[in-house]
Amino acid sequence: MIPLWDTQAHKRPPVFTVLLILANLAVFGHEVWLGLQGGGALDAFVTRHALVPARLLAGWDDEAQWLTLGSHLFLHGGVAHVLGNCWFLWIFGNNAEDKLGSLRYLLFYVVSGLGAAALQVAVDPSSTVPMVGASGAISGVLGMYFILLPTAWIVTLVPWIVPVVPVPAFVFLLLWFALQMWSGTGELMSGGAGEGGVAWWAHAGGFLSGVLLVLWAKAGGRRSRR
């Protein structure tokens, strides 16, 4: 399923959503430029800034390795990868930011990205496959949306079934999360996580992080009002 737009209007400008999209596009533009230079510059850049679970755990006392927990969130493996991530971020991020406020939204985005990486590393700590992409953090945005706006409508393209159909957000996001879990479990049973080119467990970890962060924020709000 491909989300086309949601029907929920946002009241405030999605400042950080736009800035995150621009940052992802800018870093990808730098990757393209490095690729045009040749000489292995792009490979060296990606190798240095991608998250590699086995390398991270082996070099736990190396600050450069821990920095990849953040840097890998801005790298992408191709045009479809970066545009797909930016599209999901725009559709779900603008209203999540509107509901949470810009600074808390940005904090939750970053923490979700860390939670996504943590689960992927925990599931496959010996992996030497570089992990790149903002999808872990963006999965956290989907988790935020799931709690904040479960009854919003997501106008969705469903190839081969119904061309365009409105779907309740909680249905769309539950199906999306179920797909990540199903795919991740399938890869584990076949002998590896992330070996197929998609970090399914990072998606699941990011989504769960976003859900838990919003629930925690809501619980804190209720306590403060009392």
The mean per-residue pLDDT over the stretch 19-35 comes to: 97
Q: Cα–Cα distance between 49 and 70 in angstroms, integer? A: 9
Nearest Cα residue to 113 out of 34, 23, 195, 191? 23
CA distance 68 to 179: 27
The strand pair at 2-6 and 162-168 is best described as unpaired
SS3 assignment, position 9: coil
CA angle 39, 129, 50 (to 5 degrees): 60
What's the rounded Cα separation, in Å, for the pair 171 and 154?
9
Q: Report how far Cα 208 is from the mean position of its chain's Cα atoms.
A: 11
Length of the chain: 226
- Residue-wise pLDDT tens digits, 164-205: 899 999 999 999 999 999 998 888 787 655 555 788 999 999
Task: Indicate the average pLDDT of the chain.
Answer: 91
Q: How far apart are CA 101 and CA 48, in angstroms?
A: 33
Domains and CATH numbers, the chain: 2-225 (1.20.1540.10)
Mean pLDDT along residues 38-43: 91
Q: What is the pTM of this model?
A: 0.92
